[in-house]
Structure 1
């Protein structure tokens, strides 16, 4: 076991003190381990012997601080459901420090639910067990689906109650991200007309997340361009698996392009573009179909913050920003349509194939077809015999004409039916964190202390593209009495 089991190498704390507050997590009464992620720990360069020891619970509950850790809470602002809030910040999260993973990428390690900070805004800084369970399940599922995301390293119960609508067991999640720097960090200093801070933050982000543009002729323009590109790709990936974030505020959008803040998030069962689950999104601002436009709107605030760095001439800076923001639409639409074609097993995009995809989604809406199982069923029937156990799902007869058109398009593809099917199996998951399954896991853990449904779900979702008959019950849509109509933040 090494003297420094986590090889911290902290850079954000080198920025001026106005960027953060140095904080020590608040100790808890009786922490116990829920689950840890040794594979992720190994990728981060954490000592595996230490990670298997009891010290992990002390450190990741906030009861002990390791050498090299320099805990901080960062300050930021943001638009929340379109409304401006000039100061937010890490109100229930404390970053323990940064590490450089085995892949050379820098990562933040952050405690979520670790007590009050100067940015708690009258909150208790704690998290109930339910949101910790939800984020662990969904973030790890997103990673297995190949979608850029924060990760879950450790989850613990605190042994202390948390009061929300009722008294609930408390918990803390250790979250890992390529970076926690949000659009809201830039907004905070831009709103204060602190150009020096905006520039320092931009330079930090470039050095950390986009080192390839450090020597560019116009690095801040390229920073905006790359941030827009990453978000366009990310949102397309969300749409292609039916993921609905639920709280796409500007303070919940990371510059690095990871998905963050799994609060009232959910995956669609029945396909409908207007699907929305979040209990606090009364106007369906962040419904499934709105996510691309909201992402572009959020990015417009990043562009506004960067305007003084884009060009000394304000008119020219605005024109540059407008041009880059317009690129979001084209890049998103191309990424989404190419991904949708892959889900259909198609590699060649034509007017005919685009119309088929659009017509198919429209019929799925009318027939209330299950989003995940529809595409998995298409994978099963792409060849004369399925190479994986087929899902128990059929499409109604109304799809017959479109299915015939789809098969005709397959006939124009290079490769055999089996090769097409193999490709489809790699992009059409059989397992997603369905809302009713996540809720079942939360209820079992919160009310009965039973973590078996949670562990089973996490283990199954780690391999989302391969159908194992023993887990067939985790593929099915909810029964009418199991349907989840609303999801909640937990704050």
Structure 2
């Protein structure tokens, strides 16, 4: 494994030297072999085991410092309170990928906390990141999961764990906020140069590298959130310190995949005011980008900053439209804008299962409405919508079976339902990871039938509908 340390070269103003502090009786319980192969990492080698377990120190490993707006309030100094950036490796695509260990022990940014992670939160992040990757949503990825016999104290004693994850980068909006509000212009410029070199080198060839880099960040963020909305994902904690400068979904905490269609659904039990409700995510994305571009108010004038932000809404709307056209098997945006609001209104009124409905719609042959009507109470209302949908499909032409196959390739049969994650965690806490592996198998290929695992596609049982997730997860 050829670890590189480009970020460490920026100096002490950007991070503090830290290392993995092993847990008691730590053991590797799950790894991602395809991702390891892609990154050129031999998870079975003795050297790799020693490095990732913390038995052998990694030179130049570090924890980053940054700031962030948390639920709207600014925190001037945050940082990796329980994470260690081990370095970067080169993937088979020639790009650099960070290796980052979560739950590695206290750092200078732990703020009197223990710097540890619990098994349930590591499992939730492992499952979510792999599910999102399979749904083609830009995301960090899980490489390895470690459990232990160490007790970590939250509301009750829990099993201590560590999660090794990868991403194109771990630089957040909050990195720029930290140096801007500290008045550290030199460091801010260093960070800009670093991001241009490592993440947006194509912008260096333009007349205005910074401006064009920010436009690309805005567009990547817009496309990421459009994908969230299309697949029914809610992040739960959309603070600026949890937003990636490379446009990836990071920091899975109290997230959720929407089951019953509820536009104002709040998955995070700690979000008392519903700031990060599902329907508010696009607006919060723009709010966060506004916080980001404000950090460059000494580099660019107001008109330039406004023009940069104006790329957000059309990019998000265009990408969302494209995704929903695919989900509905339509080719006309006019048809989409006519049919989609009416459909979502039906799903909301019926509290219909979002993913199951679109999967069922993929099987619709233009004749038999029964399977879809069985999903609702107001059959007449949905039947009328299906008639309008059928007319639109017939106007656009195309072979129903071919369109159905394309829809099945974008409408998952399997999503990460909260009760499934809960069951996996309960089993793993007893030392049994078979259910986790079974769930990972279908989440990594969510569009396939997996007849032997069809039970995992069912709606939550009654006990699973009242489960709550909070930031402490």
Q: TM-score range by the shorter chain?
A: over 0.9
Residue of structure 2 equivalent to 1:334: 318
Match of 2:261 among 251, 255, 271: 271
CA shift for structure 1 position 28: 2.1
SS in structure 2 of the partner of residue 159 of structure 1? coil
Residue of structure 2 equivalent to 1:63: 55
CA shift for structure 1 position 36: 0.5
Whether 1:436 and 2:436 are equivalent positions in the alignment is: no
Is 2:117–2:152's contact at 8 Å kept on the other side of the alignment?
A: yes
Residue of structure 1 equivalent to 2:444: 462
Distance 1:382 1:62, change over 3 A: farther
* Alignment partners' CA distance in 1, 2:81 and 2:133: 26
Once the two structures are superposed, residues 59-98 of structure 1 have per-residue CA deviations (whole angstroms, 9 ceiling, x without a partner) of 32323235xx521000000001011100000000001001
Residue of structure 2 equivalent to 1:3: none
Is 2:23–2:160's contact at 8 Å kept on the other side of the alignment?
A: no
Once the two structures are superposed, residues 1-42 of structure 1 have per-residue CA deviations (whole angstroms, 9 ceiling, x without a partner) of xxxxx1112210111210011112212221111101111011
Once the two structures are superposed, residues 92-142 of structure 1 have per-residue CA deviations (whole angstroms, 9 ceiling, x without a partner) of 000100111110111100100000000001110000100001000110010
* Alignment partners' CA distance in 2, 1:101 and 1:411: 45
Residue of structure 2 equivalent to 1:109: 99
Distance 1:162 1:57, change over 3 A: farther
* Alignment partners' CA distance in 2, 1:261 and 1:268: 18
Residue of structure 1 equivalent to 2:463: 481
* Alignment partners' CA distance in 2, 1:438 and 1:309: 45
Distance 1:304 1:457, change over 3 A: same
* Alignment partners' CA distance in 2, 1:293 and 1:62: 41
Whether 1:26 and 2:18 are equivalent positions in the alignment is: no
CA shift for structure 1 position 454: 1.1
Match of 1:122 among 85, 89, 112: 112
Query: Which ranges of structure 2 fall in alignment gaps of 5 or more residues?
Result: none
CA shift for structure 1 position 412: 2.2
Residue of structure 1 equivalent to 2:189: 199
Residue of structure 2 equivalent to 1:358: 341
Match of 1:281 among 267, 271, 274: 271
Once the two structures are superposed, residues 310-333 of structure 1 have per-residue CA deviations (whole angstroms, 9 ceiling, x without a partner) of 2xxxxxx11111122122112111
* Alignment partners' CA distance in 1, 2:73 and 2:207: 36
Once the two structures are superposed, residues 148-186 of structure 1 have per-residue CA deviations (whole angstroms, 9 ceiling, x without a partner) of 000000000132110000001100000101000000000
CA shift for structure 1 position 409: 1.2
Distance 1:264 1:281, change over 3 A: same
Task: Report the count of equivalent residues.
Answer: 470
* Alignment partners' CA distance in 2, 1:216 and 1:16: 28
Is 1:374–1:395's contact at 8 Å kept on the other side of the alignment?
A: no
SS in structure 2 of the partner of residue 27 of structure 1? coil
Query: Which ranges of structure 1 fall in alignment gaps of 5 or more residues?
Result: 1-5, 311-316
CA shift for structure 1 position 382: 4.0
**Greater shift after overlay, 462-471 or 82-91?**
462-471
Is 1:130–1:490's contact at 8 Å kept on the other side of the alignment?
A: no
What does 1:36-435 align with in structure 2 at a 5 Å threshold? Answer: 36-46=31-41, 48=42, 51-53=43-45, 56-65=48-57, 69-310=59-300, 317-350=301-334, 352-382=335-365, 394-396=375-377, 397=379, 398-435=381-418
Q: CA RMSD in A?
A: 1.8
Is 1:382–1:420's contact at 8 Å kept on the other side of the alignment?
A: no
Whether 1:490 and 2:472 are equivalent positions in the alignment is: yes
**Greater shift after overlay, 391-400 or 206-215?**
391-400
TM-score scaled by structure 2?
0.96
Is 1:131–1:489's contact at 8 Å kept on the other side of the alignment?
A: no
Is 1:60–1:154's contact at 8 Å kept on the other side of the alignment?
A: no
Moved over 3 A (4+): 53-58, 382-385, 390-396
